[in-house]
Copies of this chain bind each other. A is one copy, B any other.
Amino acid sequence: MIRKTIAVLFALALTAANCLAQESLPAIKEDFKPSTLNQPGQEYPQVNSQGYARFRIQAPLADSVRVSLGLGGRGGTILTKGEDGFWTGTTEGPMDEGFHYYNVKIDGGKFNDPGALNFYGSVRWESGIEIPAHDQDFYALKDVPHGKVEQILFPSKSTNTSRRAFVYTPPSYEKDKSKKYPVLYLQHGWGEDETAWSNQGRANLIMDNLIAEGKINPFIIVMTYGMTNEIKWGGIRDFKIDPFQTVLTEELIPYVDANFRTLANRDNRAMAGLSMGGMETRMITLNKPEIFGYYGLLSGGLYSPEDLKDKAKPKLVFLSCGSKERPDGVKKASTDLKAAGYNAVSYISENTAHEFQTWRRSLYQLAPLLFKN
């Protein structure tokens, strides 16, 4: 089953390269603006109102410059050199809404776009670009009370080091010092790290906005590094959950319960993850059903009624993916769970693939369902 899950995850990950919105290509509108994820003062990369991306990179003596984003199977976007020594090019079609990782091949080496900010994915800091989405308001930085994202270093005997986690606390956390909060443990995907959910996922802003609108009961989110095994390409084939399960359940959770004002019990503790983080969530919640009361798999596998049989019953099972992934599998699993008497909810992100826009939206859908005891 684990092997199968991994195979599915890899298949899903491969579809991510094919992130253009459609194959019939509209004429390009010349209303390009700098991506919101550019480095300060940088004009390129740019994005237009249709979702086309345009790149411009200086390398006057290079022989070839290619951006990894573009139509799947065509090897990305080939840039062409101008007389000024800048290479420019535009994707062959509009891209899906939301965040995309990319990199730049220059004369056969893999580098980043010097105009764009970097985001950790694929076991490297990649360039990132943001295609404005019709629903971007829910993760926008607004003039509302903001929670904090705290970097903590917690002791880990099992790995013999201090490990890093980020902890989101809601705006009210510093006001009423007697109030205790439920906690969501939220995991990144393969090749990412504990920075992913707040950087590319904007989890803190999603929470701030939901709380400001009164749509959720405020809770804490804890995000840590889930690739406790060796970090190598293909290393996931030998994935064993034990090292990370030990870090999470025996070291991080006790540390968080000791250092934050948490409601430290199963009914106030959730675990969710995207892609590989979903696989981890699935394995750990099934191994330790007494620890977590709410489960969320975002493009990260499924539960069957058989999986959950004879275990402490979860208060909620949340399953999601993009419409360009395998939505039928998610819907069917949810239906099967409901038929077996479980509180299961499925969510399909329209017109997105195995990428962060799917997971931003999934968190937005999941958060209001959590901790409704």
Q: List A128-178 residues whose CB lies under 8 Å from chain B.
A: 141-143, 146, 148-155, 161-162, 174, 177
Q: Is A232 engaged at the interface, CB distance under 8 Å to the other chain?
A: yes
Contacts A62-B106, A112-B112 known; list 14 others, CB within 8 Å: A59-B108, A60-B107, A61-B63, A61-B108, A85-B108, A106-B106, A111-B111, A112-B114, A118-B125, A143-B155, A143-B162, A146-B153, A149-B150, A177-B177
Q: Is A39 engaged at the interface, CB distance under 8 Å to the other chain?
A: yes
Q: Name which residue of chain B comes closest to A86, CB basis.
A: B109
Q: Is A57 engaged at the interface, CB distance under 8 Å to the other chain?
A: yes
In the complex, the answer to whether A124 meets B39 with C-beta atoms within 8 Å is yes
Q: Is A73 engaged at the interface, CB distance under 8 Å to the other chain?
A: no
Q: Which residues of B contact A118 (CB under 8 A)?
A: 118, 125
Interface positions of A (Cβ within 8 A of B)? 39-41, 57-64, 85, 104, 106-112, 114, 117-118, 123-125, 141-143, 146, 148-155, 161-162, 174, 177, 193, 198, 204, 231-232, 259-260
Q: Which residues of B contact A146 (CB under 8 A)?
A: 152-154, 162
Q: Which residues of B contact A148 (CB under 8 A)?
A: 150-152
A124 to B232, CA, bound (A): 29
Q: Which residues of B contact A57 (CB under 8 A)?
A: 109
3 nearest interchain CB pairs?
A59-B109, A61-B107, A146-B153
Q: Choose among A61, A64, A123, A153 the residue with the greatest number of B CB atoms under 10 Å from its CB.
A: A153
A156 to chain B, nearest CB (A): 10
Q: Which residues of B contact A141 (CB under 8 A)?
A: 153, 161-162
In the complex, the answer to whether B59 meets A174 with C-beta atoms within 8 Å is no
In the complex, the answer to whether B259 meets A174 with C-beta atoms within 8 Å is yes
Q: Which residues of B contact A151 (CB under 8 A)?
A: 148-151, 198, 204
A338 to B118, CA, bound (A): 47
A174 to B111, CA, bound (A): 42
